[in-house]
Every structure is written in structure tokens, then in C-alpha cells.
Chains A and B, each alone.
Chain A
């Protein structure tokens, strides 16, 4: 009897009750990677300020990156009070807005970020968060391979022949800065051993074709450069267009020709980077976040020294890159919303962003704020420049159902690429799904 009682007592010790929350500001951030390091640095700096009141001290909370947004949806929907401020992204503001409250970022915000970047955190005209990290796409390209090609007339002849055969146009090699999407396709074909047995790399490019909504963001800069949009001004879904067809067919052409690894239909960010870092891929359209990893001798010794980061290739309608931001907004069920707002207002100042940027964050800064960190983070100038000059947002992509639209597109488009449906079937399905999802709410 005594043994059982002590056993039970022992078990009871293993389950202490959770301590009551202290009066402070809890911020749920994006776990892992530079965003977390930067947020920590910012929170530390904020807490160290003499102006910061005791009850406004910021405490950080990080959960799992896997399933982060699903868990966030559940927590917000249930009115969780575990955090006062939480991460949001441009493409999910619409989904989480019903559970968040708009925030006033103060007078310095517009000067710190510029209007274009600030608008990535707006929904239906209201500001829902402070944009802390900008995400867009680079064209990662092997400078050494391109230089060698441009210096070798025989290789150029082969290149032109391949372009004529596969793309129907006798293209000549160009420096990557001047590429159109057709040039990119021609180069990808040239640098693939299945098309050109003498190619120095196994694959010309690596496409991320996993059925994943983020891969749609990577893909759609291509059709955008041909004039694509989700909807026209009247609200009709325009995914079944020449622009989208061109883009989808180009990807399929490359996949079928073997210009991208055959497993590409299960590739996303990590796999694509691994492929490129192995040195067997000539170019890749990929998120800017990969730049650190792919240009570091420690993590990518095979390609670090010879990789250039450029904006994506251009099309007839111009040069475009999808852009969105990650940021922090206020939970509608927050216990300390005023304190949270004060923290976000401080974040929207040049001093705060300088701390954030130096610690590894990637904000889109403007004017003086940018100048302050230009020496430590020259890449931020590139980031801001691309965002302002090439950034675009599809009409409807900040709506409440934006994520669902990406998911629908992912299912339909990857089906076409994998050969389980025809182009017409895929576009018809996408149009049907998007019309339903993008329909204005019933009055």
C-alpha cells in the first residue's frame, strides 16, 4: 500500500501546474533561422531601453516550424491568450485578420519602410502588422559556367542549335543579367546532360514542383512576366490565359526534357538547395533566404564562390518577382494589446530595424533606415531595390482565401506537370476553384 502511494506521489511531482502568466508582452515569432535571431536581438534591445515599462517587457515564444500556421489558426480561432503578438505573412493576413486587431505603427513607419513594403502588411485598407522580413526570389546562377559558355564559340553553336530544336528559336547565349525567361530555358536545356551530353552539369536548373503552396509563389513570376494575373479589374478569374499557359508549358517542357531532376515533383526549398549546392545545377529560381546558405563556403563549398544572385529573368511585360513579407501583428484576444502595440511601434523605427538587420533579419528598408545598415548589410539594398522595382502582388492575393487559392493552384498545376492531367483540365479546375474562393462575400 505504501509503495503504491509513494508511486502516485512521485507521479504527481512530475506534473507541476503551469505558472500563471506574468504581466508582459508575449510575442510568438517565426522559429529557426535568421528571423528568430534577429527578433531576439530586437527584443533584448527593447527590454534594455529605459523607456520600456516593466509591464511592457517583451518575452518571446517560438513553437514548431512544421505545422506552424495550422497551429496558429487553431490557437487564434480558439481565442488563445498565450501570446499578445504573433507572426503573420502577407499571404495569410486575410485568413487571420478576423482574429487580429489593426495596429497603428506610428509616424516613423512610412519613412522606415516605404509605402510599398508597408502595404504588404495591409488588408482591406488597414495596417495589421509591421513588416520585419521581406521575401522575394533571386535567380541563383553559376557565374563560372556562364563565363565559360560566353567565351567558347563552339559551345555557343551547340547552345543555339539546342534552342532552335527545343524552343523553336535560335537563341544565342547572353549574360544572365540580360536573360529573358526563354534565355533561361535555353540555358537550362544546354546545361542538362540529357539534352547536351557534353554539359558540365547534370541539370540546367532545378524546379520546385512539389504540391505545396509556396512553390506556386516561386512559379508565378514567370507567367507574370507575360502579363498574368489572378483576376481582371471586373473580378473575373483570369488564370486560363496565354500568360499562364506559356509559363506552365515552359516548366513542363523543361521537366520532360530532363532539365530538372526527375524527383522535382517532390522538391521544395530544402531539396532544391541541396541539388544546387551539390554543384550539378547551373541556375535556380529560389527564395532570397537561401542566399546566405548558398554563398557560404562552410555550407556550400562546391558553389559558394561562383554563385551570383540576380533578379528573375524578364518577359514581354517586364521583370517581376513575387514579394511578400513576414511581420508581427496583434492577437485580438491579447491580454496586453497596448504593450504589444508599443513594441511594434518601436520596431517600426530606424533604430530598431538597425538592430534587427544587423542580427540577421531581412527587412525592406528605405531612406535613412537603409543607409544606417548599408555598411553591415549591403544585400539589403539589393533586397529593397528588387522589391520596389520588380515586386508585384497578384490581384486577390491578400484576400481571405489567398492561401486556399495557392493550394488549389498547387494541386492543379503540379498535376499537369506530373502528367496526371492535361493543361486544359488543370486550368479548368483551377479556374473553377479560384472563382469559388475569390468570389466576393455574399451580401
Chain B
């Protein structure tokens, strides 16, 4: 039976990760081989594609894009924590906002946010936030509000009320109680929300495209700079290499935190 489980695991892992494997293989092939050898076994491996990606040129600067993404995604993942913590607290502990505010926030997840692209563009233009990391980060924060709110809401609901009541009896005011008592207990949930938010923010393309031009270009948009070959074609080798580079930060972050992700996701999911 165990052998069967291993086989199923292997198949599942292989099938689901097939694009990752293919991308890796392609990134190691020279252009001629990409056209000539469709197999996954690389005949003449080369690091030339990666060299192209990491070389800073007048036009392409992968380090700048990575930096921009890191800054904007950090803001986009951290800000929701600050905003949703008090919101989740009053909703979980006092039922305040459960009927209207909370569904409204969670519903944001269902909206195709491109409809806000033009109005936000106009707003940012007047506010001077176009092509800035702050501007992009703020929009990414909006994108992450729904899931963060949901995760924190359920995490708080999991913490026994007696804890707050004990703190209140010791004379602690609400703010201090949240900070001193709840936050430490919420560390897994906060970490999880941050990671999910970071990954989501990191992978955002449309707002990155519309709201930046030169200074604050994130990695998803910057990656597409590498794709283009002559006349509209795609240079597959370099494209594959840049996709691998672009996915490293969220993958590493996810790998470090997978345990935490799992734990808080359960609490979030089961309570609904």
C-alpha cells in the first residue's frame, strides 16, 4: 500500500509540476536546440540564457525589477495586516461589521479589479503616485485585503475569549490588549497572511503594467521585457530563464513557511 502511495505522489508531483520542469529545461537550452529538440533532456546545456537575464543593460535591469517587486509586495502584504487586525477583532469578538463591512471586504476578491485600473490611474496622476513603489504597493494592499481579513477573522475566533477577558480584568485597554495578548497568539496567522499576500502581490501583472513606466517596474512586467525577440517573436530560452528567476523569491518564501501556511489555512477554512 505504501508503495502505491509513493507512486501516486510521484505522479501527482510530476503532473502538477510539469510546466516548472519544462521551463527549467528550456532555460538551459541554446536557441537552436529549443527549435530542434522538444524533449525534456537537455542535450547541450548552457547558462547563456541566465547570463542574459542577470546582465544589467541600458534597457534591462533585473535587479531593479526584483527590488521594486520586493518593496511593493512587502507594502502590499504588510499593510493589510495593520488594517485587518482591528477589523477582524471587532468582527470576531463583538460581531461588529459582520453583516455589511466584512462581506464587502471579502467580496473584493470576486471583482475583476481591472475595472479600477483607469480611475486609479487618474487618481495617481493627480497625486503624483504614478510609477512609484508606494503607489503600486497601495493597490496591491487592496488586492490582499479580502483573504487577510478572512484568515485573521478565523484565527481570532479560534483564540479563547477567556484570554482577552483576563487581560481586561487586569485593567488593560483594548489597544494594549490586542497588541500584548492577541498578536503573539496570532503569529502563525499573521505570517501566513503575509506570505499569501506577498505571493499574490508578487504575481500581479495588470496593475504593474498600467501604473508603472520606468522607475517602479515590478518583476512580472519586467519579465515580459525579456520575452520579446525580433519582430514580435518570443526568445523562449531567455523567457524561460527569466520566469525561473522571477519565481524564486515567492517559492523560497513559500518553502520556508509552508508549515505555517497549512496551519492557519485550516483555521481560516473550517470556521468559514
Do A and B touch, yes or no (CB under 8 Å, in the complex)? yes
Is B59 an interface residue when CB atoms closer than 8 A count as contact?
yes
* Contact B233 A78, beta carbon cutoff 8 Å: no
Is B228 an interface residue when CB atoms closer than 8 A count as contact?
yes
In this complex, what residue of A is CB-closest to B226?
A: A32
Name the prevailing secondary structure of the A interface residues.
loop
Interface bits A62-96 vs B (CB < 8 Å: 1, else 0): 11111100010011001110100000000000000
Is B225 an interface residue when CB atoms closer than 8 A count as contact?
yes
* Contact B225 A33, beta carbon cutoff 8 Å: no
Interface bits B198-225 vs A (CB < 8 Å: 1, else 0): 0000000000011001111100010011
- Per the bound structure, the CA–CA distance linking A287 and B117 in Å amounts to 33
* Contact B35 A278, beta carbon cutoff 8 Å: yes
* Contact A32 B228, beta carbon cutoff 8 Å: yes
* Contact B224 A299, beta carbon cutoff 8 Å: no
* Contact A82 B214, beta carbon cutoff 8 Å: yes
* Contact A33 B229, beta carbon cutoff 8 Å: yes
- Per the bound structure, the CA–CA distance linking A277 and B113 in Å amounts to 40
* Contact B221 A287, beta carbon cutoff 8 Å: no
Would A289 and B231 be within 8 Å (CB), given that A14-B71, A64-B224 are in contact?
A: yes
Chain B hits for A17, CB < 8 A: 132
- Per the bound structure, the CA–CA distance linking A239 and B229 in Å amounts to 34
Is B31 an interface residue when CB atoms closer than 8 A count as contact?
yes
Name the prevailing secondary structure of the B interface residues.
helix
- Per the bound structure, the CA–CA distance linking A127 and B130 in Å amounts to 31
**Chain B residues within 8 Å of chain A by Cβ, number:** 39
Is B107 an interface residue when CB atoms closer than 8 A count as contact?
no
List residues 231-272 of chain B with CB under 8 A from any CB of chain A: 231-234
Is A273 an interface residue when CB atoms closer than 8 A count as contact?
yes
* Contact A61 B213, beta carbon cutoff 8 Å: yes
Is A302 an interface residue when CB atoms closer than 8 A count as contact?
yes
For the side of the interface on A, what is the size category?
35 or more
* Contact A292 B230, beta carbon cutoff 8 Å: yes
Would A64 and B225 be within 8 Å (CB), given that A11-B75, A82-B213 are in contact?
A: yes
Is B74 an interface residue when CB atoms closer than 8 A count as contact?
yes
Among the stretches B21-29, B97-105, B118-126, B159-167, the one at the interface with A is B118-126
* Contact B35 A269, beta carbon cutoff 8 Å: no
- Per the bound structure, the CA–CA distance linking A293 and B225 in Å amounts to 19
Is B196 an interface residue when CB atoms closer than 8 A count as contact?
no
- Per the bound structure, the CA–CA distance linking A82 and B228 in Å amounts to 23
* Contact A32 B32, beta carbon cutoff 8 Å: no
